Amino acid sequence: MPKFYITTAIPYASQRPHIGNTYEAIFTDAVARYHKLVGDDVYFLTGTDEHGLKVERAAEKAGVTPQQFVDGVTADLRSIWDMCMVEYDDFIRTTETRHKETVKKMFKRLFEQGDIYKGAYEGWYCIPDEAFHTESQVVKGETGNLCPDCGRPVEWTSEEAYFFRLSAYAERLEAHIEANPAFIQPDNRKNEMLNGYIKPGLQDFCVSRTSFKWGIEVDFDPGHVMYVWVDALSNYITALGYDPGGNHGELFSKYWPCDVHVLGKDVLRFHTLYWPGMLMALGIPLPKQVFGHPWLLMGGDKMSKSLGNVIYAPELIEKYGVDCTRYYVLREMPFARDGSITREQFVSRCNTDLANDLGNLASRSITMAEKYFDGNVSPETTPQNEVLTLCAASREQYRAAMDKLAMQTAVTEAMAPIVRANRFIDETMPWVLAKDESKAEDLRHVLYTLLETLRAASVLLYPVMPLAMGRLRAQLGLPEIPVWDEPAPDGFSVKRGENLFPRIILEEAET
RNA sequence: CGCGGGGUAGAGCAGUCCGGUAGCUCGUCGGGCUCAUAACCCGGAGGUCAGGGGUUCAAAUCCCCUCCCCGCAACCA
């Protein structure tokens, strides 16, 4: 049984995750569920990045300790992941002892072997805010540069800091990226990494600070705490029981290297340059693939608090259900280009695809099966027709797309037979066949075709909508959880239940 | 000369790599059906494919130029 290790990036625990962040977890979950479906030994890791200045500040503002603060954010995040039916195997928090202890050892080892060195971090420093800003961040004022946060003057300041010697790995990184076309996905991002960062000259990056306290201590140099990269990125191996001394846990030996790191396009750089650089330094194999997914935009705009256009998953789930929410983001997000969500688009997509096409097909098919055959549809011979041929084709297309992480294509392929089957009903007119007793076997063939189409779809769409597909399968008289090679049954014994996807009525006030 | 992504029917998009009667979804108009969640099925209208020039028998698609929009600052994936 092939193993499949997949991760999300770990969201920063400074605030509640919105639907865009949540999309990443849902996407990763769907991929993980797909791999379980086809029989892989899947390990799915997610978690939270809980250190750093912003958390320290947010906690202060909230009047709680940083630990109390991240405890709250992480609990909320986990409840959102649960509502979204994101079923991870492990959840790592960077404030956990198991993580911190390993990271300290890693940091020390990297320092001892010369991959981490002490230097100076320079930048524009805002004294009242106690924060550094880069040249591009500061606001140009009449009397000098100003803090982008508070508007007060900033000073060019230097601070002692440790750096990771990424420059030493530039050639190896470039060679690896060139030699492994699948390493960076989507493809166009590969050139961006090569041309935008490696070729102009890779800079060493800062891995410690002395200007804030909320971080993992550099134990051989009190006063320094780790700054994001070594701390956060290493979660992918600390969670598996990696040991810088070589005494790895069972999970690490079994699941590393990672099959795919799923993350947002904005942090692709850190995962394709910084992280591999660190792994090379530690002598660990690189992840097989890093996928930088596009962003979910609110209409055409970036989702942001300041624009006040942020949507959170719980709100959608409470109103429209977990299946619609998952379906929307997975169906709507392209592979390489930003997707979009608005309430109108959401409602339209769910009504059209789920209520009108899929839900209604289930409803009319199962109702007819009960009406004409008391729910037992067992034809004497197995029908063969265009619809069933399409089912087989869609299954292959779906699989090919899923293996490439082309979720939108996979979902669209899975839905194709549903649309075809609705037409099939009009073509065959089962209500006419039902009036002629000599056509009973024909009628059975029609209904079997419809039910079998629904069964096939329930398998493909299970990773996307586990709850609704489980319900559909129950109505079809099938086990709730499908397997990829589930054979088409000789006959169906169905029982109608609640409508799977009630139509959503969008009220004026909600738009 | 900063980098990148876009500009195709009212809306959202595919097609552009590998030139050959312009396609999908939604909306709209007309028709059909009655098994179904006012759902489903069929048909119509609607586009000088941002603009200009070039190559070609033929360009949304290849080449050159111009214009416009969106990211690359921030909370943020």
pTM of the model: 0.94
Q: Which nucleotide is nearest to A295 (CA to C1')?
A: B77
Cross-strand partners of A140: A145
Q: Which nucleotide is nearest to A338 (CA to C1')?
A: B5
Q: Which nucleotide is nearest to A499 (CA to C1')?
A: B37
Which residues, 6 or more positions from A264, have their beta carbon under 8 angstroms from its beta carbon? A9, A24, A292, A293, A295
Q: How far is the CA of A258 from the C1' of B72 (A)?
A: 29
**A276: number of Cβ within 10 Å:** 24
CA distances from A64 to A37, A60, A61, A67, A213 (A): 44, 6, 8, 8, 15
Q: Residue closest to B5, CA→C1'?
A: A337
Instruction: Tell me which range, A57-61, A92-96, A398-402, is most confidently predicted by mean pLDDT.
Output: A92-96
Q: How far is the CA of A1 from the C1' of B6 (A)?
A: 43
Q: Which nucleotide is nearest to A498 (CA to C1')?
A: B37
pLDDT one-digit tens code per residue, A401-457: 899 898 988 999 999 999 999 999 999 999 999 999 999 999 999 999 999 999 999
Q: How far is the CA of A427 from the C1' of B21 (A)?
A: 30
**Cα separation, A446 vs A429, whole angstroms:** 9
pLDDT one-digit tens code per residue, A359-412: 999 999 999 999 999 999 999 999 999 999 999 999 998 998 899 898 988 999
Q: Which tokens in the block code for residue A225?
A: 């705490």
Phi, psi of A501 (to 5 degrees): -135, 90
Q: Could you give the residue ranges of the DSSP H alpha helices within A310-406?
A: 313-320, 322-332, 343-349, 360-373, 386-403
Q: Residue closest to B73, CA→C1'?
A: A137
Each residue of A225-244: b (16+ CB within 10 Å) or e?
A: bbbbbbbbbbbbbbbbbbeb
Q: Residue closest to B4, CA→C1'?
A: A192
Cross-strand partners of A8: A262
Residue type for position A319: K
Among A313, A412, A408, A422, CA closest to A359:
A422
Q: How far is the CA of A131 from the C1' of B19 (A)?
A: 56
Q: How far is the CA of A106 from the C1' of B1 (A)?
A: 46
Over residues A62-81, mean pLDDT = 96
pLDDT of residue A122: 80
Q: Which nucleotide is nearest to A431 (CA to C1')?
A: B35
**pLDDT bucket at A3, cuts 50 / 70 / 90:** very high
Angle, CA of A285, A286 and A288, to the nearest 5°:
120
Nucleotides of B under 7 A from a protein CB: 3-6, 12-14, 25-26, 32-42, 70-77
Are A289 and A259 in contact by the 8 Å Cβ rule? The answer is yes
Q: Which nucleotide is nearest to A354 (CA to C1')?
A: B37
pLDDT one-digit tens code per residue, A15-58: 999 888 899 999 999 999 999 999 999 999 999 999 998 899 99
**pLDDT bucket at A137, cuts 50 / 70 / 90:** low
Least confident of A176-185, A346-355, A502-511: A502-511
**Collapsed DSSP state (helix, strand, coil) of residue A247:** coil
Q: How far is the CA of A138 from the C1' of B74 (A)?
A: 10
pLDDT of residue A236: 97
What's A302's DSSP letter? -
CA distances from A397 to A385, A407, A490 (A): 19, 11, 25
Are A33 and A466 in contact by the 8 Å Cβ rule? The answer is yes
